[in-house]
Structure 1
């Protein structure tokens, strides 16, 4: 070899190039400092994307105001200001707020496209959070939260809505049912395991960045005798004694997302969802422990667990994900469409 120095130099350069390319090709979003699980987002958007492709006036929609018992006509985007202010903490990152704004807008369009007006007195949506989405008027926000909140947080919320004006999530070019909830247990749920219907975009996914959520883990304790009485009020055929409870109550199965699917109590079986309802637990993902006189539920997550976790969206945004990354992660194989 006549020029060993040049050969070594070229060899070193090749090793560096291969190393750099490998790191780019196999890059992941794991947090090595705390062993946070890796989010497997295959379609993560590397470059900024502008989904604002249409510039039309926002539509006017009819809203049934439950508190005032009347139907109101309102600009869609102004309505969304009140929804976002009510459904997600204003302290959240702007990317999380944008993802919530699009989910809320998509929900309205889904209702319109499917002509779902049950309980709305022919309005598109209502202001009952248990039935549709929470909503608070500007006047009430100003009264309850104060001028400082309006000058700072409301401006932030308004910007998240304005920056995503007209954008909705679609599957097969139709608005999806964009279910969302507060906090997952580390994974979301398949819609079929909670609502009996499987939507192709509402499937179980990892949601690892929300352990700091205030209701990530909660506990609930109840005396054994009261526990049996509560169950018997709903299931009168229950046959179990106080002394048998420890041995004859156990979790039979769980969902892919980790929630209790079926729990056996003496001679009956109960769904985890019904157990959650009976004892007003934060979620159906729980474990059970016993002491001499009490039963203790340790509960993970808060909400039904299907679709987008709001605290999970916040966690993703703090890791640098954009609103479209968040939405595409929680709602599989969907697309963003700009309507106006």
Structure 2
């Protein structure tokens, strides 16, 4: 006669243990399948882009969208490490918009971002890039742009677990600006830092020469009255940590340096005004708002041997690079 103990153990295994093991196996398999599906979705992440020139919303693969953005925003002749830094900044911009209601912005018409460079990132189509640079550029430098994006695939900048607002500009003039000096928000990762390697920038220093009459009339059209004694009526009162004009007395008013930049159409808010007999000379340093990453500074750092992560962590304080997919 068979041992009753083994019979009972066999029945217990069949009734209790085996169903549990099968359930666990199915559960794990479902999780694996779900993860595969999720990863598959992320690997082919598509975004909605509002084409402002054609007034329509288009669905684009994020990485393919970034090829055109990087090619439009930064010279393809730049060092590969600078292009990689630009690619991560551009990708971070998209994720920031995705996480902060970019599709709710009226100008986007339901899309996450738009192609208007005054509102979002610069985006030129393949045909526009060919027209701007020629077929030789497409053959030699377009692959370089694509490689910079591909080599950083899925990587974004985060601060305390959240994707940052990755502002960037052409040239800082030697030092970047704190965000609150230019925009309303004070952000901990957008702090003023030195940008010493911008010597190659064609707009590192610029000189605008305006006749005294034109100078006076430009301000007059903005309800600012300047007397004939321009030298006496212009006085810089304060500067930002980055060196830009913060406040300036112009005639009968005290205004911001960035207002003067707008009125006179200057390259930046970091300027000096010199008055001669018949003309007003305005010497500006840098090009753009000056907050975040200097593109020419990034290229200068890359040419000095810095890698893309070192460049990004220099211009964006306290950030980490996170791989989203």
1:116 to 92, 95, 102: 102
TM norm structure 1: 0.81
* DSSP-derived class of the 2:102 partner: coil
State the partner residue of 1:103.
89
Q: CA deviation at 1:144?
A: 3.9
Q: CA deviation at 1:210?
A: 0.4
**Matches of residues 54-203 of structure 1 in structure 2 within 5 Å?**
57-117=43-103, 118=105, 119-203=107-191
State the partner residue of 2:32.
none
Give the alignment's Cα RMSD to 1 decimal.
1.3
Residue by residue over 1:149-206, the C-alpha shift from the partner in whole angstroms, topping out at 9 and shown as x without a partner, is 1221000000000000000000111110000000011000000000021110001000
Q: CA deviation at 1:145?
A: 2.7
Q: CA deviation at 1:212?
A: 2.1
Name the CA distance, whole Å, in 2 between partners of 1:277 and 1:197: 20
1:58 and 1:166 in contact (8 A); partners too: no
State the partner residue of 1:299.
284
1:201 and 1:331 in contact (8 A); partners too: yes
**Matches of residues 239-250 of structure 1 in structure 2 within 5 Å?**
240-242=226-228, 244-250=229-235
* DSSP-derived class of the 2:221 partner: helix
2:155 and 2:322 in contact (8 A); partners too: yes
TM norm structure 2: 0.85
1:260 to 235, 245, 267: 245
* DSSP-derived class of the 1:231 partner: helix
Residue by residue over 1:47-70, the C-alpha shift from the partner in whole angstroms, topping out at 9 and shown as x without a partner, is xxxxxxx99514100000111111
Q: CA deviation at 1:129?
A: 0.4
Q: CA deviation at 1:290?
A: 1.1
Q: Which runs of 5+ in 1 are unaligned?
A: 1-53
Name the CA distance, whole Å, in 2 between partners of 1:142 and 1:250: 47
Name the CA distance, whole Å, in 1 between partners of 2:232 and 2:132: 50
Name the CA distance, whole Å, in 1 between partners of 2:199 and 2:132: 30
State the partner residue of 1:330.
315
State the partner residue of 1:208.
196
State the partner residue of 1:35.
none
Q: Which runs of 5+ in 2 are unaligned?
A: 1-38
Select the structure of larger CA radius of gyration. Answer: 2
Name the CA distance, whole Å, in 2 between partners of 1:66 and 1:274: 27
State the partner residue of 2:212.
224
* DSSP-derived class of the 1:149 partner: helix
* Residue 271 of structure 2 is aligned to residue 286 of structure 1: yes
Residue by residue over 1:285-332, the C-alpha shift from the partner in whole angstroms, topping out at 9 and shown as x without a partner, is 001111111110000000000000000000000000000000000000
**Runs of 4+ that moved beyond 4 A:** none
2:191 and 2:292 in contact (8 A); partners too: yes
Name the CA distance, whole Å, in 2 between partners of 1:198 and 1:225: 39
State the partner residue of 1:317.
302
